Amino acid sequence: MDDDELHRHIDELVAEEHRLERAHVGQALSESEQQRMTELGVQLDRYWDLLRQRDARRRAGLDPDDAQQRSTDVVEGYRQ
């Protein structure tokens, strides 16, 4: 997946998050919607991580296509 594809996926996931949020202004999300929001957040974290890896590899003179998507456990375990 190249940078443009990653950005498109990120944009699609963010748009879905926003649709869910706008559909429930002033109301709580259902349990399934809350679960979907959590899934979207995890997917976004993984795509952003892959994009950062690609950028770091490029800056280091390495092939960005060798970057690998990391597992949810790894990405969600990062300290902020």
Phi, psi angles (nearest 5°) of residue 77: -90, -5
Task: Write down the residue that tokens 């990405």 correspond to.
Answer: 75
Residue 29's contacts (CB-CB under 8 Å, 6 or more residues apart) are 20, 37
Q: Which domain holds residue 60?
A: 3-76
For the chain, percent of residues with pLDDT exceeding 90: 75
Tokens representing 9 are: 């996926």
Tokens representing 51 are: 């994009």
Task: Collect the ranges in the chain with pLDDT lower than 50.
Answer: none
Number of independent structural domains in the chain: 1
Question: What pTM did the predictor assign?
Answer: 0.86
Task: Write down the residue that tokens 């280091």 correspond to.
Answer: 60
